[in-house]
Amino acid sequence: MTSPTSTGTSTGRVAGKVCIVTGAGSGIGRAIAHRLAEEGGRVLCADLSADAAARTTAEITGAGGVAEAHAVDVSSSAAVDGMVAAAVVRWGRIDVLVNNAGVNLPGLLHEVPDDVIDRTLDVNVKGQLYGCRAVIPHMLAQGGGSIVNISSVNGLVSEPFLTVYSASKGASVMLTKGVALDYAKQGIRCNVICPGWVDTPINHAHAELLGGLEQVYDTIDSFQPIGRPGEPREIANVALFLASDEASFMTGSVVAVDGGMTSQ
């Protein structure tokens, strides 16, 4: 199995921009935080785990980037407001928000307890709503900004055991379209990425219901035509593009980064 690797080359695509990344402590969020920092962004690495946020921050600053850690539970509107306020106090503005934090708690719908439904919707839906709501006034005041929501291919198509997760990720897609329409003339862009199966721990519980991770990867070309899982950095590269001014004519776009999965 092969995947693209970093060349270590930076062109300053988000130089000086203040960026918030939720779920930055691991997986796709960690990779996005690194890419934004590599390209000159000042990154608030936010995560439910203070230790995980601190690790990502230390990696970025150790490589010469600019980052700070912030512990946040995105299911709390007050906590999200505090996260945004912390970035504004530190750097004076918000240019980029990446709503990446999410949970995947799979199961058959009739067996899913209320607490799993609540947690899934609180994090995956309300967390993104709260994030957008908190940054938009700052972006309006400064004349624009970029919001990147991380959904999933399961916001476009579903899979076994993922009814609740798919419902939450579909909401992310429609949230993106609504924000894009409401603020298109005020310079705020909002786009959404729908990753396919990416090699991150968030998928491990689902993999167990499908026969185990080894079984999933042995048969991955049956549902992901490229024939391998994605790497977090491959999603991060797309998030970087959407965050940057290179994507200035894109808003409300639903970008599937899925190795061909939704082309079938």
Asked if 183 is an active-site residue, the reply is no
What local confidence, expressed as pLDDT, does residue 92 receive? 98
Label residues 249-259 b or e (16+ Cβ within 10 Å = b): eebbbbbbbbb
Spacing of C-alpha 133 from chain mean position: 16
What local confidence, expressed as pLDDT, does residue 66 receive? 98
What local confidence, expressed as pLDDT, does residue 6 receive? 47
Average pLDDT over residues 158-168: 96
pLDDT tens for each residue of 235-251: 999 999 999 999 999 99
pLDDT tens for each residue of 124-157: 999 999 999 999 999 999 999 999 999 999 999 9
Average pLDDT over residues 10-18: 93
The full set of domains in the chain, from first to last, is 18-256 (3.40.50.720)
Give residues with Cβ within 8 angstroms of 55, minimum separation 6: 25
pTM (2 d.p.): 0.94
Q: Is the pLDDT assigned to residue 175 strictly greater than 80?
A: yes
Question: Which residue would you say has higher pLDDT here, 118 or 9?
Answer: 118
Residues 59, 88 contacting (CB under 8 angstroms): no
Q: At what angle do helices 232-243 and 27-38 cross, to 10 degrees?
A: 50
Report d(CA 224, CA 259) in Å as an integer.
6
